[in-house]
Homo-oligomer: A and B are copies of this chain.
Amino acid sequence: MDAAIETPAVVVDLDVTRCNIDRFQHYADAHGLKVRPHIKTHKLPAVAALQLAAGAVGITCQKVSEAEAMAAAEPAITDILITYNILGEAKLARLRALAERVRLSVVADSTVVVEGLSRTFAGAGVPLRVLVECDTGARRCGVATPQDAARLASRIAASPGLSFHGLMTYPPVGGTAAVQAFMSEARGLIEAAGLPVAVISSGGTPDMMAAHQAPIVTEYRPGTYVYNDRSLVSRGVCGWDDCALTVLATVVSVPAPGRAIIDAGSKVLTSDLLGLTGYGHVLGRPDIVIDQLSEEHGRLVSEGPIDLTVGERVRIVPNHACVVTNMVDSLHIVSTDAADVIWPVVARGKVI
């Protein structure tokens, strides 16, 4: 297909995608762990459908507008967790409308958020499920201690329109033991107060194969695993053959023996480094470093001869797959059992 694709292009191999989905689902099934994939990586109802068909119990979204886009798909996606503090009258109204259409859960890490949710859902036919977001070391959102988690759980349970549903965390890489410790203490406190903890949700692709080492977790939210990327290869989580998403680019200039310029810059590859050197891996060319991006140019350098010609195409595994799918309106989908197709990135740019 390559020759027919105008570059730069984001290409997804659906066979590799399916393997990635199945690999983690089998692992999770073996350990009695439910899978609730984060759609931020693919932003595609059709890939969510593959994940659900493989056994996922529902999906995770980060923003209300993402959830709306996924709920509007055919066939409908009916079980959505939004792992974000929802604030503001407009978003809350959208959230209430969304809850009419899907089995919805959200998170909260403060009383301000809980109050807004309660005000919105008081009088709703079905109370809104709310999980307490816990900080198990990532120092992003989340209550800081199991005691704080227990206090907020009680507050949720006592709030009109809401039901306390469990605990959620996005741990730092290597944080599996911290998740087990925090969640065990928090669950103990909450159950001691007479509240059931239906769900304990953790996430993150880098540590997903260690999820069983935090057996208190009932649901896992992997995102990047569906495509994989250079950051995960560098962590030893997968190999290049497991990377389902690549960027196809054309060499537009070879101005010096050790330098070539491609037509993919930060508007496709993004500036995400994730601690790596360079902005992606040129498949088959480990000697090349993508050492500089401007918006429409990527600079490839090598200590040896660059050995590329103007007009030649290269395939790149980006540092971070999730952000790349946000940069393009459509993807080129390739697979062995169907003709190549172009899919719009349905939930692209959904930041609201």
Interface residues of A (CB under 8 A from B): 6-8, 40, 62-63, 84-85, 87-88, 90-91, 109-110, 112-113, 135, 139-144, 250, 252-256, 259, 261, 263-264, 266-268, 270-273, 292, 294-297, 299, 309-311, 322-323, 326-329, 349, 351-352
Contacts and interface: CB of A to CB of B under 8 A. Distances in A.
A147 to B, nearest CB: 14
A326 B40 CA distance: 18
B253 A323 contact: no
A292 B141 CA distance: 12
A250 B141 CA distance: 14
Contacts of A268: 351
Given A63-B296, A140-B297, A267-B351, 8 more contacts: A6-B88, A8-B352, A40-B296, A85-B252, A110-B310, A266-B272, A328-B351, A329-B349
A253 B63 contact: no
A110 B6 CA distance: 20
B310 A327 contact: no
**Copy count, this protein chain:** 2
A180 to B, nearest CB: 21
B310 A112 contact: yes
15 contacts: A6-B88, A6-B91, A8-B352, A84-B252, A84-B263, A87-B252, A87-B311, A112-B310, A140-B294, A140-B297, A141-B255, A271-B273, A295-B323, A295-B326, A328-B351
Nearest to A301: B139
Contacts of A87: 250, 252, 263, 310-311
Contacts of A310: 85, 87, 110, 112-113
A255 B85 CA distance: 12
Contacts of A141: 252-253, 255, 261, 297
A253 B310 CA distance: 50
B6 A267 contact: no
Contacts of A143: 255
A235 to B, nearest CB: 17
B322 A295 contact: yes
A112 B299 CA distance: 19
A327 B266 CA distance: 11
A266 B88 contact: no
Contacts of A140: 253, 255, 261, 292, 294, 297, 299
Contacts of A40: 295-296
Contacts of A351: 8, 263-264, 267-268, 296, 327-328
A252 B252 CA distance: 44
A264 B261 CA distance: 31
B62 A295 contact: yes
A256 to B, nearest CB: 7
Given A267-B349, A299-B140, A88 B250 contact: yes
Nearest to A148: B255
A244 to B, nearest CB: 19
A322 B266 CA distance: 11
A310 B135 CA distance: 17
* Residue from A113, A259, A271 whose CB has the most chain B CB atoms within 10 Å: A271
A259 B112 contact: no
